Structure 1
């Protein structure tokens, strides 16, 4: 028994029948004596439908109004779930993000959580109620509603778990946990019993969709254990936690393959090689809220170099426009871009200190006839940029090469 924060995704609460099924799951835990805070996403494809409606009435909806509109999806889910719980005898109260004490900055569409005041939730828990919270949203100091962007409900749940000092945060979705690769791409992918925050953060950042990287990062900072499981079955899930006491041999294994097709590539050719140029290119992108991922700069030839980086496809057009302006200012030769690339990554703690991982990865891709456009690394990750049409083949080849189906 303890204080548990649960989160149910859109597929878990997609219709009235699913909401009632979730209510019965919650009731079982409530009857076992747990104090429960439940965060919910919008039902099914509600958010996409609301976005379509907004663009039907306006060619360019204001960001503030769009956030207020989108926040209603989660409000519908949390109120319906609270009603379903009460109908089966479980005392429950529905709360918006603002009522739950989630304060954010004013970056509409991708707001960051600045603070969480859990006092109202704690009051309801002391009264013996289940607190059902609308995920994906918060409120600014000016009392405007904001949304947190992709994976926002995961982030809401982990932030609440941290503020409430919960025993753990449980993320319920339509998959049974974290796998060594996407099981839709690699049918023999193996479910992991547990994984470290560091490894999960790399997998999430490189395309694994089960957990959002912001939520994993929050869990890591505040040491909140995160349990990922399916709301459709009783199968055991995967625990994301601190990994202590393992031998070096265990920690030096590749734990998973991630892939991401949401990749736009921008190359600036003939960039003058002098101090301040990189800042001139990337500062405007940062100020516009555009996240830059893979960055590769070629060796300078006659004081000129080529600079390549990637962004999300949704940001590509805006980023290209900004970069073209900067390129003219700094005297670069030209700006090239495309959206036909994808990333494939291997992730595992300690890879940098053990030889052979890069060679195995590159050999597997070569034997599959897949060309590598760019390579980037971190201490626990190697990422290759490849043709998007070959990415699933690449994932299967790497899964076989590292024998991940064998454990």
Structure 2
């Protein structure tokens, strides 16, 4: 008998019909195999946005503690509905909120991190033969305050619970049947990737691939939890995410990710002195604003420009904080650009294959796409470009690296 954690996203939970006839049936199928089953659910499709809009109809910058208090209710509804459906179908189940499931987090409201999970209550119900349905996306602080884990946080909840329970596997059910070489809505001939390493999935998730939240992959990688991304609406095997093996470097580029949810902030004529940049980024860190790419220009006459990117949701707050610091350090001003996008290629084979960066830059230049910022690692190249060129950039890079072909055809000999 195995212990399986299943996670179902908002689209899967999008209606009573889907909950009863799709999700519940997937859960029951696993239970009928003789396995213990823990289910983690997202809010019903559109519900989180509805709750956020309710809050923002009052103020654009709400108290984040109260924001979490409101937004966390979406998952409670879907968990309760699924548990009711399972019980009605003759399979004993119980719904638990994040705090009832023992998920303890820090106090970084709206983007909290899981610190620990006390699985005693989960195990108690499993020992009674029940299916345990847990709200994703949320937890509780040591002071009893409700927190949420940020967009896609239900994935993180599921993987963290799987790790804490030492589950045999974690299946992430969504509205797509796996991870693709690019977004199929942009590239119709994108192919499903059969197997990815944790490291490749980590990069794709951090670069804009919407299939998994980055922290869920970090948990899976740290605790070696096998992940499989599958469709709620099909029987395909999906994409397996696991430890790297020697065959994976044979493919140069595994996939392309894009992200339109970024803004660029530039601080002009910053005094080029030690510690000045630290003042900018320390202030952002104190406000729990993650910074992605950073570029500093060559110093001219003792001054330089510093550009960095943040999520669009953080852009207004980041701009306000940066302007305050800019005044303190004597910088000329701050410019914010919300009309940018990040396009990235990812693949383990880039470690050992030369000329990949040149091919990226040459391809974008050929189609008149200017690169505003560049960031690289061993297995990824990211470019910030004008937002209006996003889809074109994804398509031409997909074609340039022949990602429409089977991986066996593209593998290095």
Q: TM-score range by the shorter chain?
A: over 0.9
Deviation at 1:366, TM superposition (A): 1.3
Gap regions ≥5 residues in structure 1: none
Deviation at 1:58, TM superposition (A): 6.3
Deviation at 1:246, TM superposition (A): 1.9
CA distance in 2, matches of 1:321, 1:373: 23
CA distance in 1, matches of 2:66, 2:305: 41
Equivalent position of 1:229 in the other structure: 230
Instruction: Confirm or deny that 1:304 pairs with 2:317.
Output: no
Aligned partner of residue 373 in structure 1, secondary structure: strand
Equivalent position of 1:259 in the other structure: 258
CA 1:247–1:17 in structure 2 vs 1: closer, same or farther (change >3 Å)?
Answer: closer
Equivalent position of 1:336 in the other structure: 335
1:15-94 → structure 2 map (5 Å cutoff) = 15-21=15-21, 22-56=23-57, 61-94=62-95
Greater shift in the superposed pair: 190-199 or 327-336: 327-336
**Could you report, residue by residue, the CA deviation over 1:357-398 in whole angstroms, capped at 9, with x for unpaired residues?**
011111111111211111111111111111100110000000
Equivalent position of 1:137 in the other structure: 138
Deviation at 1:261, TM superposition (A): 0.6
Equivalent position of 1:245 in the other structure: 246
Equivalent position of 1:211 in the other structure: 212
Aligned partner of residue 299 in structure 1, secondary structure: coil
Equivalent position of 2:203 in the other structure: 202
CA contact (8 A) 1:350 1:379 kept: no
Aligned partner of residue 348 in structure 2, secondary structure: coil
CA distance in 1, matches of 2:316, 2:90: 52
Equivalent position of 1:9 in the other structure: 9
Aligned partner of residue 404 in structure 2, secondary structure: helix
Aligned partner of residue 383 in structure 1, secondary structure: strand
CA 1:269–1:52 in structure 2 vs 1: closer, same or farther (change >3 Å)?
Answer: closer
CA distance in 1, matches of 2:375, 2:47: 37
CA contact (8 A) 1:343 1:386 kept: yes
Gap regions ≥5 residues in structure 2: 407-413
Deviation at 1:52, TM superposition (A): 2.5
Instruction: Confirm or deny that 1:316 pairs with 2:315.
Output: yes
CA distance in 2, matches of 1:30, 1:399: 40
CA 1:55–1:361 in structure 2 vs 1: closer, same or farther (change >3 Å)?
Answer: closer
1:279-298 → structure 2 map (5 Å cutoff) = 279-298=278-297
**Could you report, residue by residue, the CA deviation over 1:4-34 in whole angstroms, capped at 9, with x for unpaired residues?**
1110001101111001021111111101111
Equivalent position of 2:411 in the other structure: none
Instruction: Confirm or deny that 1:373 pairs with 2:372.
Output: yes
Greater shift in the superposed pair: 61-70 or 33-42: 61-70
CA distance in 2, matches of 1:257, 1:369: 19
CA contact (8 A) 1:9 1:42 kept: yes
CA 1:328–1:173 in structure 2 vs 1: closer, same or farther (change >3 Å)?
Answer: same
CA distance in 2, matches of 1:171, 1:351: 28
CA distance in 2, matches of 1:26, 1:321: 47
Equivalent position of 2:183 in the other structure: 182
CA contact (8 A) 1:200 1:216 kept: yes
CA distance in 1, matches of 2:156, 2:12: 17
CA contact (8 A) 2:346 2:380 kept: yes
Equivalent position of 2:410 in the other structure: none
CA 1:247–1:27 in structure 2 vs 1: closer, same or farther (change >3 Å)?
Answer: closer
CA distance in 2, matches of 1:49, 1:333: 40
Aligned partner of residue 404 in structure 1, secondary structure: coil
Aligned partner of residue 7 in structure 2, secondary structure: strand
CA distance in 1, matches of 2:201, 2:212: 8
**Could you report, residue by residue, the CA deviation over 1:44-97 in whole angstroms, capped at 9, with x for unpaired residues?**
111122223334466764332322222221111111111111111111111111
CA 1:351–1:214 in structure 2 vs 1: closer, same or farther (change >3 Å)?
Answer: same
Aligned partner of residue 43 in structure 2, secondary structure: coil
Greater shift in the superposed pair: 103-112 or 30-39: 103-112
CA contact (8 A) 1:47 1:73 kept: yes
1:325-404 → structure 2 map (5 Å cutoff) = 325-404=324-403
